[in-house]
Structure 1
Amino acid sequence: MSKQKYLCIQRSQTGECKPPSPSQMEEMYAKFSVWKEKYKENILDMGGKLKAEGKVVKSDGATDGPFIEAKEIIGGYMLISASNMEEAMEVVRESPGVGMPGSSVEIREISTP
């Protein structure tokens, strides 16, 4: 059975959050290393954190953005492969990032012709 590709969009609550301590960062990196090794066959691109600044492009030009009123912000992305949505959910559910307060991950299957 061939695997599908999924875009994983990391979301978090807006507002200020206290930065983690060095020991908390070390613990988080250790958890991510274990998770990445376990799912190395599924992770196509670890993606990365998105900067707050950007552009919104329309047919009539471009503006600074994205500036929307929202309770959540998109903070990063990742590409994974999985046999089906349930497997994709398992990979994401075990990610240490999902357990962070106010954090969630949206999973979208990438449609290919």
Structure 2
Amino acid sequence: MSLFMLLLADDPTEFADLSPAELQAVIARYSAWSEDMAAQGRLRGGHKLCDEGGKILRREGDALVVRDGPYAEVREIVSGYFLIEAADYADAEAIARTCPHAASRGSITIREIESMENP
């Protein structure tokens, strides 16, 4: 089995008009999915990220520059992630398709984590 990161991206304003009960229902769907993946031995971790967008660190010439991110023209931000175990990309995609985020207008980026261990 390999490790894959599911990067969840969405427009945070999409949830702004939800009532507290509707928001709790969304959270319950993600929690139930996480618990199911953990029970299957597939979930290795995951968290929701803060909506404010974070910081971007980039080299510009000889200096490292830190800026607020994402920029105003960016609608989607990475809003969370799950770390899962899967046999290959096809298996990781099948798991991602069951994630509640797949039913939203956001996106899920699937990336395999390269092992840094010596053989």
Please give the TM-score of this superposition, normalised by the length of structure 1.
0.77
Aligned to 1:8: 6
What is the alpha-carbon distance in structure 1 between the residues aligned to residue 109 and residue 28 of structure 2?
Answer: 24
What is the alpha-carbon distance in structure 1 between the residues aligned to residue 24 and residue 81 of structure 2?
Answer: 22
Q: Which runs of 5+ in 1 are unaligned?
A: none
| Higher helix content, 1 or 2 | 2
Does 1:22 pair with 2:25? no
1:37 shift after superposition: 2.3
Ranges of 4+ aligned residues in structure 1 off by more than 4 Å: none
Written as runs of structure 1 = structure 2, the 5 A alignment for 1:1-113 is 3-13=1-11, 16-17=13-14, 18-40=16-38, 41-50=41-50, 51-58=52-59, 60-68=63-71, 69-100=73-104, 102-113=105-116
Q: How many percent of aligned residue pairs carry the same amino acid?
A: 20
Maintained 8 Å contact 1:56/1:66? no
Q: Which runs of 5+ in 2 are unaligned?
A: none
Please give the TM-score of this superposition, normalised by the length of structure 2.
0.74
Q: What is the RMSD computed on CA atoms of the aligned residues?
A: 2.2
